[in-house]
Amino acid sequence: MAGHSTCDVCVIGAGAAGLSVAAGTARLGLRTVLIERARMGGECLNTGCVPSKALLSAAKAAHQRETLRSPGRSELTSSPIDFAGVKDGVQAVIDAIAPHDSAERFEALGVTVIADTAQFVDARTVRAGQRHITARWFVIATGSKAFIPAIPGLDAGKVLTNDSIFQLRERPDHLVIIGAGPIGIEMAVAHRRLGCQVTVIDRASMLVNDEPELVAMLRDRMQQDGITLVEGADLIAVDHRKDGVAVSLDLGGARQTITGSQVFVAAGRAPVVDGLGLEAAGVSYDRKGIAVDRRLRTSQRHIFALGDVIDGPRFTHVAGHQAGVVVRNLAFRLPAKVNYDALPWVTFSDPELSHVGLTQARARKEMDGDVAVQFVRLEKNDRAVAEHRTDGAIKVVTGRGGRILGASILAPAAGEMISLWCLAVQRRMTMKAISDLMLPYPTMGEIAKAAAGQHFEPIIFGARVRKFVRALRWLPI
Tell me the pLDDT tens digit for each residue of 265-300.
Answer: 999 999 999 999 999 999 999 999 999 999 999 999
The pLDDT tens digits for 38-93 are: 999 999 999 999 999 999 999 999 888 766 544 444 454 456 899 999 999 999 99
pLDDT at 70: 45
Q: What CATH architecture is 3-40+102-146+270-332? A: 3-Layer(bba) Sandwich (3.50)
At the fourth CATH level, which superfamily is domain 156-267? FAD/NAD(P)-binding domain (3.50.50.60)
The pLDDT tens digits for 352-401 are: 999 999 999 999 999 887 899 999 999 999 999 999 999 999 999 999 99
pLDDT at 464: 86
215 pLDDT exceeds 90? yes
Q: Where in the chain is the domain with CATH 3.50.50.60?
A: 3-40+102-146+270-332, 156-267
Record the pTM: 0.93
pLDDT at 307: 97
Q: Where in the chain is the domain with CATH 3.30.390.30?
A: 344-463
pLDDT at 23: 98
At 178, the pLDDT band (50, 70, 90 cuts) reads: very high
Query: Which of 79-93, 195-209, 210-224, 393-407 shows the lowest mean pLDDT across its residues?
Result: 79-93
State mean pLDDT over 237-264.
95
At 187, the pLDDT band (50, 70, 90 cuts) reads: very high
pLDDT at 368: 84
203 pLDDT exceeds 50? yes
pLDDT at 463: 85
State mean pLDDT over 108-120.
97
pLDDT at 258: 97
Q: What is the 3-state secondary structure (H, E, C) of the chain?
A: CCEEEEEEEEEECCCHHHHHHHHHHHHCCCCEEEEECCCCCHHHHHCCHHHHHHHHHHHHHHHHHHEEEECCEEEECCCCCCHHHHHHHHHHHHHHHHHHHCHHHHHHCCCEEEECCEEEEECCEEEECCEEEEEEEEEECCCEEECCCCCCCCCHHHCECCCCHHHCCCCCCEEEEECCCHHHHHHHHHHHHCCCEEEEEECCCCCCCCCHHHHHHHHHHHHHCCCEEEECCEEEEEEEECCEEEEEEEECCEEEEEEECEEEECCCEEECCCCCCHHHHCCCEECCEECCCCCCECCCCCEEECHHHECCCCCHHHHHHHHHHHHHHHHHCCCCCCCCCCCEEEECCCCEEEEEECCHHHHHHHCCCCCEEEEEEHHHCHHHHHCCCCCCEEEEEECHHHEEEEEEEEECCHHHHHHHHHHHHHCCCEHHHHHCCCCCCCCHHHHHHHHHHHHHHHHHCCHHHHHHHHHHCCCCC
At the fourth CATH level, which superfamily is domain 344-463? FAD/NAD-linked reductase, C-terminal dimerisation domain (3.30.390.30)
